[in-house]
Amino acid sequence: MPATASSAKAPRPDRDSVTTIRADGSRFFLHPADSRGRWISLRRTSAWVLIGIYLLLPWIPVNGHPAVFLDVAQRRFHLFGATLAFQDTWLLFFLITGLGFSLYFVTALLGRVWCGWACPQTVFLEHVYRRIERVIEGDAVARRRLDQAPWTSGKIFKRGAKQVAFVVASALVAHLFLSYFVSLPQLWTMMHEAPREHWSAFVFTGIFTAALYFNFAWFREQLCLIICPYGRLQSVLVDDHTLAIGYDTTRGEPRGKVGPPDAGACIDCNRCVQVCPTGIDIRQGLQIECIACAACVDACDEVMTKLERPKGLVRYDSQAGFTGGRTRWFRPRIVIYGILLAVGASVATWAVSGVRPANFGITRMLGAPYFIETTSIRNQYLVRVVNKRDVAARFLLTLESDGVPATMIGMEGTVEVGPLAEVVRPLIVETPRAGFPGMFPIRIKATDEAGTFSIVREIEFVGPDRAVAGGVAP
Amino acid sequence: MSEPAPKLPQEPGEDPVRPHVFDGIQEYDKRLPNWWLLTFYGAIVFAVIYWLADQHFPSGTSASRLGEELARIDAAKLSSSSAQLDDNALWKMSRNPVIVKTGEDIFMTTCASCHGKNMEGGIGVKLSDDQWIHGGRPMDLIGVVNTGVLAKGMPTWGPVLGAKKISAVVSYVLSKHPAPAGVE
Amino acid sequence: MPARTVTIYYNDKIVRQFLLACVIWGAVGMLVGILVATQLNFWRVNFDLPWLTFGRLRPLHTNAVIFAFVGNMMFAGVYYSTQRLVKARLASDFLSQLHFWGWQLIIVAAAVTLPLGFTRGKEYAELIWPINIAVAGIWVVFGINFFWTLARRHERSIYVAIWFYIGTIITVAMLYIVNHLSIPTSLTHSYPIFAGVQDGLVQWWYGHNAVAFFLTTPILGIMYYFVPKAAERPVYSYRLSVIHFWSLVFVYIWAGPHHLLNTALPGWLQTLGMTFSLMLWAPSWGGMLNGLLTLRGAWHKLRTDPVLKFFAAAVTFYGMATFEGPLLSIKSVNALGHYTDWIIGHVHAGALGWNGFMAAGMIYWLLPRLWNKPLHSVSLANTHFWVGTVGILLYVAAMWTSGITQGLMLNSTTEGGTLLTYPNFLETLNTIRPMMLFRVVGGGLYFMGWLMLAYNVYRTVKGAQVVDGTAQVFVEDGLPAGESARIGLLAALFSPPVMFSVLGTLFACIWMFGGSTLQLLGLFGTVICVILAWMHFDSKRRNWGDWYDRLLVSALPFTILTFLAAAVGGMIQIIPTVLVNRAENVEDRRQIPYTPLELAGRDLYVREGCYNCHSQMIRTLVPDVLRYGDYSRLGESIYDHPYQWGSRRIGPDLARVGSKYPNSWHYRHMENPRAISAGSNMPNYPWLLTNPLDLSTLAKKLSVQRTLGVPYAPMTDTEVASAVGTQAAGIVADLAQPGTDIKVQPDREIIALIAYLQKLGKYERVQRAVAKP
């Protein structure tokens, strides 16, 4: 990636311009300094737990399938033991809204905690790519110096090594991503065969690797600032009682040297600015760039500890807390979001528990809606039975028609469906012409052989107007 | 904490705001990131290249590409029916036990409810005799199964079963009939 | 030169009027939206009443939301901000009142005629011709009032918001008039002068740019005024305003054909539609970034100020929608998403998120200033925001899921790609049923939020003393403001920026349409032109800047240049398409003109709004061909006034439904769709079985069609009646066959509709094929 070697010194962040965009439109490439402290340690731990989960999900088998395996080729989605078919794709809705409501709920309470703690962009950038950069090129000062340095062999080596490491990391993440869609043994086989054998997967992985590399090696916080809508949506979900990272103006101002008795606690050491991965000065208040990573909190605490002053000049607190009030945790909004989340979760659970190991549908055959025979009226349907398990299954079909005599013709015994297969069968229903009551509903019930579950579908039996029907007595 | 910080001095030589004020609204004249401008130029360059590729060196119109794809599908249908279909081929298939067995399975699950387990007829016509309403040549049977006889209740099986299964099930029906001379 | 101080009294009464109208019509439009969304799930909610069916109410929903809700909001915002930005009272109180009452009358007329089935059968252009004339007239009144005010301004230069308003007024006038050109057959009915592909192209040139110039540019102008006002921050970037205004105005117009990707539309138009849509991404985001980075300096106020919350969220949704749009314009993505709920979700992310939230933010900001009283309840406004965002989340998530699920199912094939996995359309519809329910919940929540706004408005306004704004300006007598700096029309036109643009466009046209050598010349010329322009700009940067500054004090040349920029794309796409001899430019098939009975049936199809759920366009895509038959050719709809290709498949495509089913199937299906298609959500149409067919204007309709170039022989009333009678008798006899036994009078509407449906997909082969204009 182009080293943004330039004569310009680090611009001071202000409210009027974006630090990472220089006056001429070029990029100011940030080198945030290291910060140490409890938040950073916590974040590092949580990030590695998250990465571990991402890594393991395609490995852990649940009910014979990986915990998360989106088998696009077979049109089956395996999620923590449940297997969903194409017809169940609508459950995706619960995933999207569930994530949405969780975002609302968590953000209303804790601000942009998603951005700073859980977003893959932050997790991989801060804890994988920046770590690689740190190991190869040194700390922020060294990195900045390297930017300015002429292209000696040493610089070429360091830069080259870093970029190679970035490409390798990106390729690994891309393959990890692919393993959610292709089973692992298959992925292994594919990786050992020529690219042209799996052209689309190869191209996909290549493009994905390139995109990840571009993003993590160079684009970085620009994604959060300009592209990502969720950061902004989170910002508008914040209210006066939401926790956010902020600077205690009352305590800190007037900032300046240690000494004068009326001076505030802030010594204007600029540590909070140096460690910021998005290039803002937290003392200017909540800003669009802030991903609530808490690096400035640790940085400030470290300085305050050295000065033997109380910590928390920069801290997680609500607007109410910073202005001397108390943070109200139980606000109507939180309660309502909580209720919505609970309702959503129960509806989702109900919907998912309603997902059977089979799907059963009935439609009318194309052509005339009904056929009038000498003594009977006939309707023709098609049933589709989808078996979502990987063993063959048999289903017994039965007909109910609420007192109107109706019989299934030719559908004897059971429908057998192979593992993960779908079967379409004709279903013919007849009723006597005499006493035909006009259109009436029938119910077809499919029961699995073991009798563990059954699915009922209702459909109309159509016929002529009653007057026409009753013509011939049986 | 949220009080605006005092405004910092601008870089020398940079005019901070445009001279004009509209109803109290001022305007900065800042540059957008260069990479953002590049996406715009990139889209324009892509449009030019796409047009060149599409109009000057076309790999075919969408209709012709579709035609090729449909031809591929037809070819797949034909090749999956094991041979170029004609009367003679179907008669031959009807003597092949593997194909006939496949056809029998399909017949029992799909056709028997109307035509009877032994093709004795019922809702549908009897298939075991030599009375054919829509023609008795094997290709006629293929045609009827494919497109159906909607008015009588025989549905269009083409889109449901596909060519391969239809040729198999017709072979099964033919297997209950004597083959004409010349088919071994 | 003597200078004196003049006090200007703004006309804020008109702003208050439009603002209240916006609140009321917004509620009405959303309520109708909830009703039609409910109908998709519960067919009984159609009540078996003609004027309450989905096909007639869906146009009412779209028209109410676009023209009544956003229209009134736009007029309020434009009138409030323009007066202040140009430091002049609106030119004419009479024109302002005429504008307001005329517009409300049009809305009421639309709300009456659409449910009655009076329609032109083109989306967002359904209103019948007398109302069209009224709309055009009132729009001209708006234009005169606006430009007259501009001419009397006390501010030399015009601000970016005004640029967008100018672009809106002239472009909407152009789009509206061209797409509504029609020949009346009666007071309530007309045929558009374009047919088939030409009508489709004109329609989406209009339809797409209704989104651009009715729902986007005026709102961007409003953003440029109200966002810096509310945030009390300077606008982030002037140069960005310049780039994104001109690129948006120029590029947007070209993108219309992306609504017709993979259809029978000629390939070069599809290519233009797709590539220009991709080019639109950066200019659209330019607007978003300018709004966002303006808000950036006031980000810390977001947690308390509902106005800023609404603006920040609106700008974010604008960004999301304008990212999704180019994505959906990529042909392969479009193959999946088109005709599905994904498009509905996309539109509503824009309508609810961008338009609705901008409206709310603007209203909350304006209320205290127009009624001189603090907002009744800030916390209720915040609650509105929370409820609204939850509503949008549910709505958009439901529609994405629904669209992608149905798209995947419809396109899924088995047996090596030779068979559809789900040959029955209803299987895909029934899968997305739960999503259609959740969209109602989401829309309902959003509506609740709007009611909170309405209540807040009511409580604030009630008993308040209205207040009109004033301003003091210094006027130098004798010399009108900015006279010296003005630029003449010729000087504006013959200036480097304009000349380079015109030359570049000319060369690009030569490249597009020229023969093989000319093409090379055109390409070469375009590239040279761009390079020269860039070099000139680089060396004479200051001149270009000065020229633009002078242009900004010269409203007329500015307006003319804006019009040219907006008109070019449409002219290049439409004129070649309209000029070709349509009977020859038909690929290999030509439509057989409808018989009188079929034409009468077609008018019923249009009346009932069938196009709202059924397309008549089989795309050049394998799953479409496998499902519906051979793909639709250009020539197969050349006599269709209006075209009925459709934009959404809530039901299956009907392009080749003719002869697919027996007449009895259609009869029973129209009587009760569920009798035939289990799980269908189509309304019952019992009145078609009993209403007598109105033949009184049929001869006139045929003669208008003949005028429009459909090859009909002149027919007298009796000849028409006898032709109708003969064909109807045949259908009646077929229905009465033993086995179906349907007895029906030959003069019922259902007979005409069956005749029309059975004609769909009938064509004759032609030898001559002309591919490209």
Cα separation, C219 vs A416, in Å, equals 60
| Residues A143 and A251 occupy one common structural domain | no
Burial of residue C390 (CB within 10 Å: 0-12, 13-18, 19+) is buried
Residues of chain B above pLDDT 70, percent? 83
Do C240 and C287 meet the contact criterion of CB atoms below 8 Å apart? Answer: no
Instruction: State the best of B34, B62, B80 to mutate against chain C, taking most chain C CBs within 10 Å.
Output: B62
| Residues A220 and A171 occupy one common structural domain | yes
What count of residues does chain A have? 474
Q: How many contacts does A have with C, using Cβ atoms within 8 A?
A: 159
| Contact: B151, A367; criterion CB under 8 Å | yes
CA A321 to chain CA mean position, Å: 32
Domain count, chain B: 1
Residues of chain C above pLDDT 70, percent? 97
How close is the nearest chain A Cα to the Cα of B37, in Å?
9
Asked, for residue A353, whether it belongs to a domain, the answer is no
Domain residue limits at B142? 83-175
Chain A's closest residue to C414, CA to CA, is A74
| Contact: B2, A319; criterion CB under 8 Å | yes
Structure tokens at C88: 């002049």
| Contact: A423, B109; criterion CB under 8 Å | yes
Nearest to B46 by CA among C274, A207, C212, C323: C274
| Contact: B2, A15; criterion CB under 8 Å | no
Return mean pLDDT, chain A.
Answer: 86
pLDDT band at residue B67 using 50, 70 and 90 as cut-offs = confident
The segment with the largest mean pLDDT, out of A178-187, A192-201, A431-440, C21-30, is C21-30
Structure tokens at A134: 């740190």
Using CB atoms, list chains with 3+ pairs below 8 Å to chain A.
B, C
Asked, for residue B121, whether it belongs to a domain, the answer is yes
Q: With beta carbons under 8 A apart, name residues in chain A contacting B8.
A: 12, 14
| Contact: A281, B30; criterion CB under 8 Å | no
How close is the nearest chain B Cα to the Cα of C108, in Å?
36
Residues 120-179 of B with CB under 8 A from A: 122-123, 148, 150-156, 160
Q: Per-residue pLDDT for C481 more than 90? A: no
A42–B contact, CB cutoff 8 A: no
CATH of the domain at B90: 1.10.760.10
Higher per-residue pLDDT: A86 or C358:
C358
Say what the pLDDT of residue C188 is: 95
Q: With beta carbons under 8 A apart, name residues in chain B contacting C771.
A: 61
| Residues A142 and A226 occupy one common structural domain | yes
Say what the pLDDT of residue C449 is: 97
pLDDT band at residue B183 using 50, 70 and 90 as cut-offs = low
Query: Last residue of some domain: A215, A236, A257?
Result: A236
| Contact: B114, A428; criterion CB under 8 Å | yes
Q: What is the pLDDT of residues C204-230, one digit of tens each?
A: 999 999 889 999 999 999 999 999 999
Cα separation, C299 vs C135, in Å, equals 41
Q: Per-residue pLDDT for C475 more than 80? A: no
How close is the nearest chain A Cα to the Cα of C309, in Å?
5
How close is the nearest chain B Cα to the Cα of A370, in Å?
8
Return mean pLDDT, chain B.
Answer: 80
Domain spans of chain C?
3-462, 489-579, 589-765
Asked, for residue A167, whether it belongs to a domain, the answer is yes
Q: What is the pLDDT of residues A40-69, one digit of tens each?
A: 999 999 999 999 998 888 888 887 788 888
Facing C309 at nearest CB: one of A229, A236, A242: A236
> Hey, is A379 helix, strand or coil?
strand
| Residues A452 and A386 occupy one common structural domain | yes
Cα separation, C606 vs C612, in Å, equals 10
Nearest to C360 by CA among C313, C392, C393: C313
Q: What is the pLDDT of residues C172-196, one digit of tens each?
A: 999 999 999 999 999 999 999 999 9
| Contact: A240, C304; criterion CB under 8 Å | yes
| Residues A192 and A230 occupy one common structural domain | yes
Structure tokens at B9: 């001095």
CATH code for the domain defined by C589-765: 1.10.760.10
| Contact: C409, A86; criterion CB under 8 Å | yes
Chain A's closest residue to B154, CA to CA, is A367
Nearest to C174 by CA among C77, C65, C249: C249
How close is the nearest chain C Cα to the Cα of A214, in Å?
19
Say what the pLDDT of residue A473 is: 37
Say what the pLDDT of residue B79 is: 61
Using CB atoms, list chains with 3+ pairs below 8 Å to chain B.
A, C
| Contact: A87, C678; criterion CB under 8 Å | no
Q: What is the pLDDT of residues A117-140, one digit of tens each?
A: 999 999 999 999 999 999 999 999
Facing A462 at nearest CB: one of C304, C676, C738: C676
> What CATH number matches the domain at C3-462, 1.20.210.10, 3.40.50.1820, 1.10.3720.10, 1.10.260.40?
1.20.210.10
How close is the nearest chain A Cα to the Cα of B116, in Å?
8
A286–B contact, CB cutoff 8 A: yes
Asked, for residue A4, whether it belongs to a domain, the answer is no
Say what the pLDDT of residue A61 is: 84
Instruction: State the best of C232, C236, C240, C296 to mutate against chain A, taking most chain A CBs within 10 Å.
Output: C296
> Hey, is C253 helix, strand or coil?
helix
Domain residue limits at A254? 246-322
Higher per-residue pLDDT: C78 or A361:
C78
Cα separation, C173 vs C135, in Å, equals 10
| Residues A276 and A201 occupy one common structural domain | no
Instruction: State the best of A90, A372, A373, A457 to mutate against chain C, taking most chain C CBs within 10 Å.
Output: A90
| Contact: C267, B40; criterion CB under 8 Å | no
pLDDT band at residue B1 using 50, 70 and 90 as cut-offs = very low
Q: What is the pLDDT of residues C415-452, one digit of tens each?
A: 777 788 888 898 899 889 989 999 999 999 999 999 99
Residues of chain A above pLDDT 90, percent? 36
**Cα radius of gyration rounded to whole Å, chain A:** 32
pLDDT band at residue C483 using 50, 70 and 90 as cut-offs = low
| Residues A203 and A85 occupy one common structural domain | yes
Residues 248-277 of C with CB under 8 A from B: 262, 267-268, 270-272, 274-276
Say what the pLDDT of residue A464 is: 77
Q: How many contacts does B have with C, using Cβ atoms within 8 A?
A: 135
Asked, for residue B12, whether it belongs to a domain, the answer is no
| Contact: A425, B109; criterion CB under 8 Å | yes
Higher per-residue pLDDT: B39 or A71:
B39
Among A355-359, B5-9, C629-633, C723-727, the range scoring the smallest mean pLDDT is B5-9
How close is the nearest chain A Cα to the Cα of C678, in Å?
6
| Contact: A226, B155; criterion CB under 8 Å | no
Q: Per-residue pLDDT for B3 more than 50? A: no
Query: Last residue of some domain: A294, A322, A350?
Result: A322
Domain count, chain A: 3
Structure tokens at A135: 């190991």
Facing C739 at nearest CB: one of A104, A363, A372: A372
Q: With beta carbons under 8 A apart, name residues in chain C contacting A104.
A: 389-390, 393
How close is the nearest chain B Cα to the Cα of C415, in Å?
8
Using CB atoms, list chains with 3+ pairs below 8 Å to chain C.
A, B
| Contact: C676, A87; criterion CB under 8 Å | no
pLDDT band at residue B53 using 50, 70 and 90 as cut-offs = confident
> Cα–Cα distances in Å, from C470 out to B23, C91, C154, C166, C280?
12, 15, 13, 24, 39
Q: What is the pLDDT of residues C390-405, one digit of tens each?
A: 999 999 999 999 999 9
> Hey, is C663 helix, strand or coil?
helix
Asked, for residue A60, whether it belongs to a domain, the answer is yes
Q: With beta carbons under 8 A apart, name residues in chain C contacting A238.
A: 302-303
Do A3 and A147 meet the contact criterion of CB atoms below 8 Å apart? Answer: yes
Among A172-186, A230-244, A446-460, C577-591, the range scoring the smallest mean pLDDT is C577-591
B132–C contact, CB cutoff 8 A: no
DSSP letter assigned to residue C275: H
Q: Per-residue pLDDT for A215 more than 80? A: yes
| Residues A230 and A97 occupy one common structural domain | yes
C741–B contact, CB cutoff 8 A: no
CATH of the domain at A416: 2.60.40.10
pLDDT band at residue C755 using 50, 70 and 90 as cut-offs = very high
Cα separation, C507 vs C510, in Å, equals 5
Asked, for residue A27, whether it belongs to a domain, the answer is no
Higher per-residue pLDDT: A354 or C61:
C61
Say what the pLDDT of residue A468 is: 52
Q: With beta carbons under 8 A apart, name residues in chain B contacting C237.
A: 27-32
Say what the pLDDT of residue A469 is: 47
Which pairing describes strands A422-432 and A376-387: parallel, antiparallel, or unpaired?
antiparallel
How close is the nearest chain B Cα to the Cα of C625, in Å?
9
- DSSP letter for each residue of C567-628: HHHHHHHHHHHHHS-TTT-STTEEEPPPPHHHHHHHHHHHHTTGGGT------SSHHHHHHH
| Residues A367 and A394 occupy one common structural domain | yes
Q: What is the pLDDT of residues C507-554, one digit of tens each?
A: 998 988 887 788 889 989 999 999 999 999 888 888 888 889 889 998
Q: What is the pLDDT of residues C289-303, one digit of tens each?
A: 999 999 998 998 888
Higher per-residue pLDDT: B133 or C657:
C657
Residues 107-146 of C with CB under 8 A from B: none
Average pLDDT estimate for A374-391: 84
| Residues A264 and A411 occupy one common structural domain | no
Q: What is the pLDDT of residues B110-131, one digit of tens each?
A: 888 888 888 888 888 888 888 8
| Contact: B46, C283; criterion CB under 8 Å | no
Higher per-residue pLDDT: C486 or C533:
C533
> Cα–Cα distances in Å, from C528 out to A62, C273, C506?
63, 25, 12
Q: With beta carbons under 8 A apart, name residues in chain C contacting B31.
A: 237, 239
- DSSP letter for each residue of C356-408: IHHHHHHHHHHHHHHHTS--S-HHHHHHHHHHHHHHHHHHHHHHHHHHHHHHH
The ipTM (two decimal places) reads 0.89
Q: Per-residue pLDDT for A373 more than 50? A: yes
Average pLDDT estimate for C566-585: 82
